[in-house]
Structure 1
Amino acid sequence: MSIQKIARLAGVSVATVSRVLNNSETVKDKNREKVLQVIRESNYQPNLLARQLRTSRSSMILVMVSDISNPFCAEVVKGIEEEAERNGFRILLCNSGSDIERSRSSLQLLAGKIVDGIITMDAFSKLPELTQLIGATPWVQCAEYADAGEISCVGIDDHEASQQLVRLLVEKGHQRIALINHDLSYKYAQLREQGYLHELRRHHLTWQAIGYANELSFSAGKNAMNALLADGEIPDAVFAVSDVLAAGAMSAIQDAGLKVPQNIAVAGFDGTELAEMVSPPLTTLAQPSRAIGRKACELVLQKIANPDSPAERINMDWHLIERAST
């Protein structure tokens, strides 16, 4: 289909169609949506190479995800893709595992100008190395952030959110609250652990136990819970820093002949669909995962359009979902 036919079907000029394809900001939202609707219905595929040669842009965003198997990461990516497509962009997905060599390989796309911008979900500890590799390319860090610097970031206040979750467990009468955490090279893991410890101190609870999962997976959560069960006095509640770790913890508790929440209450973090699928349904601190992805994409598009725009640090809202596991 030609852009002339798209213009005729959308009831706009050929110039308007061209501006939409080139992601121009001068198009009215109403006309942009008309054109994009016709493009979606017709499966129109523009000549990307020709457009790149003409505009020096590829209309592609590289998304580097720490672990695409994590349901939270998958939801964030959906939000990024929704916002990218709404603005005439596409995404290239890299499952980096926060491995700097895998990241280095993907970032070779920058040299060939295959992508216009980058969204990362890599560990906080990798940011200095990534900064050197990425250079001046428009970049947003998503769900992991730096406290200062020139990197725009989107996430939630992990410290305060974890305090709220621990506070719920304390208010329900639990005295021995354990934490199942992940890799402390991630800023969110540091902050959620700090929030956990802060809330215990605030309530003058001296009992504490922290288990570390080597990955964000069901089996890692189960292994961490088994270690907690084998280590002296067992907890009466467990806070896991992700829903998938919490699901593994619940399985370990039940395999040990104990009941959730009668013997040990369990709470997770992220608010993924998994929290509703386990039995009993999981109490969780729900992040606005898709909204985080959409906002990250919005910020990188702003940076692509205006490279000199200042870095922004966006804290999104969250909410606690209380279910039968606590």
Structure 2
Amino acid sequence: MPTIYDVAREAGVSAATVSRVLNGARTVDPAMVARVLTAVRELGYRPNAVARNLRRSRTTLWAVIISDIGNPFFTATVRGIEDVAQQAGYSVVLCNSDEDPAKEETYVAAALSEQMAGVIIASSGSAKAARSLLDSPIPVVAIDRQLPRGEVDTVVVDNEAGAATATRHLLDAGYRRVACVTGPEGVSTADLRLRGYTSALSARRPPGEPLIVRTDFREQGGYDAMESLLSSAERPDAVFVANNLMTVGALRCLADHDVRVPAEMGVVGFDEIPWADLVRPSLTTVAQPTYELGRMAARLLVDRIATPAGRPARVVLPAELRPRQSSALQSSAL
């Protein structure tokens, strides 16, 4: 079995340098890090995890707790986290809370009992889980959603601006009654996207009251919300849907009711969808920089592990409107 000295000899560095690389030290030259990690892979070196944990009183594992593993949004996000984690000498354990606060609390308890090196979490809104993390010495980074009742390093997208841009886009296209389907109250992404929608409506003062339906962030929730809007007295002619899975549900409902998009109903969804360009009509979306979000969260966690003190950082990344056919009312009338 190869030793740390074999790795050092293969990489042409000292054993102390190998140890620093494997422990995630940020002061090692990147070229040297690459040589060490290459030697580790080629030799099949495995550190003595038990001895390391005794020395550090913590593992080299990160818990990444996401709210819905079925949501494509998290695919590139987790990839960004994993790429940085492996380069820094950490491994990732993926946990799916399934939008269930009780499951989230269970995963948080497991991360704390296993003394994980850090936690990256897209919170489902559990105040209990948040309090447990805030009371522990384990570094925490929140992604996508703010952690309830506490300040930690956070990476989010500018949800309010993205939603306002989407709503203005529908109004500019000529739609008059723009509805919003958003997520549960108290979840920051749902609340901020709703705020962006209402602020854009207020600025334009279209006739009628805002048409808002709150539901879960699931496909069936989007379907049920769209069905409710279709049966309402103030039926909308366009809808802004605040996440990708709900957008899928809303589109399915429109198809089941033979509602033509975009002629009878304009649609903009928040979150890019891999097949958005392939369907007809193609789907207008607000795209988030998912890989960069994960990469930035992982960098913050590496920094926080290295320097536990200091004020929490908050990184807000821009969202990008990608106009396509589903919101082109004027073109559909030609």
Give runs of ≥4 in structure 1 deviating > 6 Å.
none
Does the CA contact (< 8 Å) of 1:98 and 1:126 recur in 2? no
2:211 is matched with which residue?
209
Query: Cα distance 1:148–1:122, how it changes in 2: closer, same or farther (>3 A)?
Result: closer
Distance 1:109 1:67 in 2: 18
The residue matched to 1:268 in structure 2 has which SS?
strand
1:151 is matched with which residue?
152
For residues 172-199 of structure 1, the C-alpha deviation after alignment (integer angstroms, 9 at most, x for no partner) is 1110111111111201111111111111
2:269 is matched with which residue?
268
Does the CA contact (< 8 Å) of 2:242 and 2:269 recur in 1? yes
2:94 is the counterpart of 1:72: no
Query: Cα distance 1:44–1:323, how it changes in 2: closer, same or farther (>3 A)?
Result: farther
Does the CA contact (< 8 Å) of 2:63 and 2:111 recur in 1? no
What RMSD over aligned residues (CA atoms) do the two structures have, in Å? Answer: 2.2
Amino acid at match of 1:302: D
1:131 is matched with which residue?
131
Q: Which consecutive unaligned segments of at least 5 residues does structure 1 have? A: none
TM-score w.r.t. the length of structure 1 is 0.91
Distance 1:20 1:165 in 2: 44
Displacement after TM superposition at 1:17 (Å): 1.9
Distance 1:101 1:244 in 2: 22
2:16 is the counterpart of 1:2: no
Does the CA contact (< 8 Å) of 2:7 and 2:36 recur in 1? yes
Distance 1:278 1:182 in 2: 25
2:193 is the counterpart of 1:192: yes
Amino acid at match of 2:303: Q
Displacement after TM superposition at 1:103 (Å): 2.8
Distance 1:13 1:142 in 2: 37
Does the CA contact (< 8 Å) of 1:275 and 1:283 recur in 2? yes
Does the CA contact (< 8 Å) of 1:104 and 1:133 recur in 2? no
2:330 is matched with which residue?
none
TM-score w.r.t. the length of structure 2 is 0.89
Displacement after TM superposition at 1:9 (Å): 3.3
Distance 2:166 2:10 in 1: 52
2:317 is matched with which residue?
316
Does the CA contact (< 8 Å) of 1:243 and 1:275 recur in 2? no
Displacement after TM superposition at 1:113 (Å): 4.5
Amino acid at match of 2:131: T
The residue matched to 1:325 in structure 2 has which SS?
helix
Distance 1:180 1:93 in 2: 29
Query: Cα distance 1:298–1:258, how it changes in 2: closer, same or farther (>3 A)?
Result: same
Q: Which consecutive unaligned segments of at least 5 residues does structure 2 have? A: 328-334
For residues 9-58 of structure 1, the C-alpha deviation after alignment (integer angstroms, 9 at most, x for no partner) is 33333332222112223321110011113334555432222221233331
Query: Cα distance 1:274–1:51, how it changes in 2: closer, same or farther (>3 A)?
Result: farther
Amino acid at match of 1:17: V
Displacement after TM superposition at 1:277 (Å): 4.7
Distance 2:212 2:132 in 1: 34
Query: Cα distance 1:213–1:104, how it changes in 2: closer, same or farther (>3 A)?
Result: closer
Amino acid at match of 1:158: N
Query: Cα distance 1:127–1:43, how it changes in 2: closer, same or farther (>3 A)?
Result: farther
